[in-house]
Structure 1
Amino acid sequence: MGEFIIKMPDVGEGVAEAELVEWHVKPGDPVREDMVLAAVMTDKATVEIPSPVTGTVLWLGAEIGDTVAVKAPLLRIHVAGEGGEVTAAPMPETVSIEAKEEQSPVARVEIPSPVEVKTSAQPAPVARAVVQPPADKPLASPAVRLRAQESGIDLRQVPGTGPARRITHDDLDQFLARGAQPSVTPAGLAMKTTVEEIKVTGLRRRISEKMVLATSRIPHITYVEEIDVTDLEDLRTTMNASRKPDQTKLTILPFLMRALVKTVAEQPGVNATFDDDAGIITRHGAVHIGVATQTPAGLTVPVVRHAEARNIWNCATELVRLAEAARSGSALREELSGSTITITSLGAMGGIATTPIINHPEVAIVGVNKIMTRPMWDGSQFIPRKMMNLSSSFDHRVVDGWDAAAFVQRLKVLLETPALIFIES
């Protein structure tokens, strides 16, 4: 009989360690050759680790959320036959676009894992889960329960003196005689004392690290301005009514994307990234717009590349395609990185104002708040107008307050006079 020791594979890109995000097996489970045993996550990709042999899992070397070094023992498999050294043959890298509801919304790359094998006179003990039974409910007769309910007494607070700690009428009498107050909880309601601990793993950990990096290293300045989007909404409605069957329905975001393209052409310092370690600001000619997107696994930022070369209909089509790919988990690595400026929007839940966190290493992010009809004074009377706030944050090390204000004011002009968006410079 032999024992295989499967080690953490070298996932490439100079990565020395990876986070374990999924176990597909547990001790005692039978496995077959090529069966996926676990998944680990690097910066953008999830790497699946297959089994090179058929056998039984003896031991798992890490828990979900643990960071495991390359070549560290990951699990042991008990197999039939003699021992000996075995190295898994390299497998071609493939990108899977099959979505799983629980997986992170990134490409999954299958990479073989290096394997060692050694003989074992006796199999290693199999770890067994120990399940603690839940606490028993208080034992009492129906009559006692009814009396306790009518008196507002929580039976869990009453010591029982009957057989098997059964609570009797005498126990209720003694409980009240000691001066204990009846429970103020209304009938049918009960206090909850459960506590749930959730380990931060996978994409949620990546989001956490990204937010800490951005807020700890970037001094944010947030500028909020209200925009009258009445004319823009009228134009959007008209364009949607006359769109061709193959054209995607327009939201406000494609208009904002085209307005961003025109604005950063005038203020290239906002369409930039800042390497604060090297002290280098990189201004980008290409406008790669990241769009913060909520997915079942968490927040991702798919990127509409070269927005400067797309018309408004193409921006809308690409935006929908990327959002669907992110939510289904089929987005490719290059579709989730490389943005030069980001838009964030909560749609109808956008609130009055927000304080967006910059997508490091970018220097600006534009936040869209919800559209509301409000009475606005036109000089002689109040008239209903559709108003929306833009909440934009800037890296104050790179963008001065005056430049931030000028940037937003230019966006305001374009969005309030949407015909200007379509005029080529």
Structure 2
Amino acid sequence: MGTHVIKMPDIGEGIAEVELSQWHVKVGDLVVEDQVLADVMTDKAMVDIPSPVHGKVIALGGQPGEVMAVGSVLISIEVEGAGNLKESAAPVVTKEPVAPTVEAVVESKPVAAAPRPAPAPACQGPMVAREADERPLASPAVRKHALDLGIQLRLVRGTGPAGRVLHEDLDAYLAQGQSNASAPAAAAYAQRNDEEQIQVIGMRRKIAQRMQDATQRAAHFSYVEEIDVTAIEELRAHLNEKHGASRGKLTLLPFLVRALVVALRDFPQMNARYDDEAQVITRLGAVHVGVATQSDVGLMVPVVRHAEARSLWDSAAEISRLANAARNGKASRDELSGSTITLTSLGALGGIVSTPVLNLPEVAIVGVNKIVERPMVVKGQVVIRKMMNLSSSFDHRVVDGMDAALFIQAIRGLLEQPATLFVE
């Protein structure tokens, strides 16, 4: 038998060190050629490290969260053959974005890893064998639903792809719990003294660093304005009824993208990037709209490129395609970089007001809050209107308060009189 030592590869782009984000194997596992061994993270992307050989893992070279130099020992594998020591740099497979895909997680399961023992039943409902620190796959909506119901996701068996927990799984868990008479009704009120420590590594570390960097470097200020979206919601419903079957359904987002494009013609200072080290502001003619998207691994911002040249349905299709790619871990590096202004929305959870953080080096971000029906006075009459707030933030080093207010008022005018979105 021999030992094959795999070293941290040179990923390129002048990178001298990378963060070890996640192991997909452990000591004692049997691995096959091309099986994913680990994920490592650069400043720009998550990278798969596959095995170049068949063999048995005998040593790991680092812990998740550890920053490792290129050329350092990543993993040692016992292989058949002569008893000499072989070394190689691991091949790399760049994954965009900085998060493992569902398919990669499924395919990279250790070949001969021992199954985890099922835990003793701790509460009612169908159980699933997960360790206490294992984070089950679930969408943000499912996580919130579980939180509202007081359900620990790690105890729910997921029936979706790769064991993803679905809303239906939560319903099944509750139904099983209600039929289990042995579970005390007062369990939800029992005292708890457990604690959980979560290491900030990988994607979450990158998000934390970017948010901290943005708030420390930029001089944020926010501006909130309410908008009557009754007319544009009526137009959207009409277009969906007439063309939805053939062209696809429209959400409010493509209208907002169109409003940004038109308003930026008069406010080019908003469609800009600020290099604070070189003290240079770059205004761009192309409008590349970043659309903040929540995924299971954190916030991502896929980019709708050249929004100024897209129709409503073209924008809608691209937003949908990019959002799905980001949530499924399949968006490319180019699709996650290069935005000139960002649009962020929490959808139905949008709340009344928010204070979004700038996506540096951009100087403006437009935040969308939820639509609510409220009584409003229109021409002396109290009528029910659909109202929505825009909560936007700007970099005061570049954007003056008056210009920011005028910019948002321009967007307001376009959305309240939607025909003006298409008048050239």
TM surpasses 0.5:
yes
Contact 2:96/2:333 (<8 A) preserved: no
Distance 1:18 1:95, change over 3 A: closer
Contact 1:102/1:297 (<8 A) preserved: no
Is 1:237–2:264 an aligned residue pair?
no
TM-score scaled by length of structure 1:
0.76
Contact 2:219/2:396 (<8 A) preserved: yes
Counterpart code for 1:410: A
How far 1:74 sits from its partner (Å)?
1.3
What are the residue-to-residue correspondences of 1:162-181 with 2, within 5 Å?
none
In structure 1, C-alpha distance between the alignment counterparts of 2:96 and 2:4, rounded to whole Å: 27
How far 1:69 sits from its partner (Å)?
1.3
Q: After superposition, what is the alpha-carbon deviation per residue over 1:95-154, rounded to whole angstroms, capped at 9, x for unaligned?
A: 6999734979xxxxxxxxxxxxxxxxxxxxxxxxxx9x99xxxxxxxxxxxxxxxxxxxx
Is 1:296–2:296 an aligned residue pair?
yes
Q: Aligned residue for 1:273?
A: 273
Q: After superposition, what is the alpha-carbon deviation per residue over 1:23-82, rounded to whole angstroms, capped at 9, x for unaligned?
A: 121112222333321121223322222222333222111111222111111122223433
Q: Aligned residue for 2:215?
A: 215
Counterpart code for 2:234: D
In structure 2, C-alpha distance between the alignment counterparts of 1:320 and 1:20, rounded to whole Å: 32
Contact 2:214/2:360 (<8 A) preserved: yes
How far 1:90 sits from its partner (Å)?
8.9
SS for the counterpart of 1:266 is: coil
Distance 1:211 1:102, change over 3 A: farther
Q: Aligned residue for 1:196?
A: 196
Q: After superposition, what is the alpha-carbon deviation per residue over 1:241-285, rounded to whole angstroms, capped at 9, x for unaligned?
A: 111533121111111101110111111100000111111111011
Is 1:254–2:272 an aligned residue pair?
no
Counterpart code for 1:407: F
SS for the counterpart of 1:25 is: coil
In structure 2, C-alpha distance between the alignment counterparts of 1:196 and 1:93, rounded to whole Å: 33
Counterpart code for 1:9: P
Percent identity over the alignment is 57
Counterpart code for 2:309: A
How far 1:209 sits from its partner (Å)?
1.1
Contact 2:304/2:318 (<8 A) preserved: yes
Distance 1:55 1:279, change over 3 A: same
Q: Bigger CA drift: 30-39 or 310-319? A: 30-39
How far 1:404 sits from its partner (Å)?
0.5
What are the residue-to-residue correspondences of 1:374-389 with 2, within 5 Å?
374-389=374-389
In structure 2, C-alpha distance between the alignment counterparts of 1:257 and 1:244, rounded to whole Å: 19
What are the residue-to-residue correspondences of 1:33-182 with 2, within 5 Å?
33-84=33-84, 86=86, 88=88, 100-101=101-102
In structure 2, C-alpha distance between the alignment counterparts of 1:61 and 1:48, rounded to whole Å: 16
In structure 1, C-alpha distance between the alignment counterparts of 2:90 and 2:26, rounded to whole Å: 25
SS for the counterpart of 1:193 is: coil
Q: Which has the higher helix share?
A: 2
Q: Aligned residue for 2:323?
A: 323
How far 1:200 sits from its partner (Å)?
1.5
Contact 1:103/1:329 (<8 A) preserved: no
SS for the counterpart of 2:405 is: helix
Counterpart code for 1:190: A
Q: After superposition, what is the alpha-carbon deviation per residue over 1:334-372, rounded to whole angstroms, capped at 9, x for unaligned?
A: 001100000000111111111010101100000001111
Q: Aligned residue for 1:367?
A: 367
SS for the counterpart of 2:370 is: coil
In structure 1, C-alpha distance between the alignment counterparts of 2:104 and 2:54, rounded to whole Å: 26
Q: Aligned residue for 2:352?
A: 352
How many matched pairs? 347
Contact 1:4/1:76 (<8 A) preserved: yes
Q: Aligned residue for 1:2?
A: 2
Distance 1:362 1:201, change over 3 A: same
Q: Aligned residue for 1:111?
A: none
Q: Bigger CA drift: 13-22 or 344-353? A: 13-22
SS for the counterpart of 1:261 is: helix
Stretches of structure 1 lacking an aligned partner (at least 5 in a row):
105-130, 135-185
Counterpart code for 1:216: Q
Q: Aligned residue for 1:397?
A: 397
In structure 2, C-alpha distance between the alignment counterparts of 1:20 and 1:89, rounded to whole Å: 15
In structure 1, C-alpha distance between the alignment counterparts of 2:201 and 2:54, rounded to whole Å: 29
How far 1:317 sits from its partner (Å)?
0.9
How far 1:83 sits from its partner (Å)?
4.8
Q: Aligned residue for 1:310?
A: 310
Q: After superposition, what is the alpha-carbon deviation per residue over 1:311-342, rounded to whole angstroms, capped at 9, x for unaligned?
A: 11111111111111111111111001100000
Contact 2:267/2:407 (<8 A) preserved: yes
SS for the counterpart of 1:40 is: strand
Distance 1:92 1:67, change over 3 A: closer
Distance 1:52 1:289, change over 3 A: same
Distance 1:279 1:83, change over 3 A: farther
SS for the counterpart of 2:27 is: coil
Q: Aligned residue for 1:418?
A: 418
In structure 2, C-alpha distance between the alignment counterparts of 1:92 and 1:18, rounded to whole Å: 13
Contact 2:358/2:364 (<8 A) preserved: yes
Counterpart code for 1:48: D
Distance 1:372 1:18, change over 3 A: same
SS for the counterpart of 2:253 is: helix
TM-score scaled by length of structure 2:
0.76
Counterpart code for 1:419: A
In structure 1, C-alpha distance between the alignment counterparts of 2:91 and 2:70, rounded to whole Å: 18
In structure 2, C-alpha distance between the alignment counterparts of 1:10 and 1:83, rounded to whole Å: 27
Q: Aligned residue for 1:126?
A: none
How far 1:187 sits from its partner (Å)?
6.2
Contact 1:5/1:77 (<8 A) preserved: yes
Q: After superposition, what is the alpha-carbon deviation per residue over 1:210-231, rounded to whole angstroms, capped at 9, x for unaligned?
A: 1111111111010001111111
Of the two, which has the highest radius of gyration?
A: 1
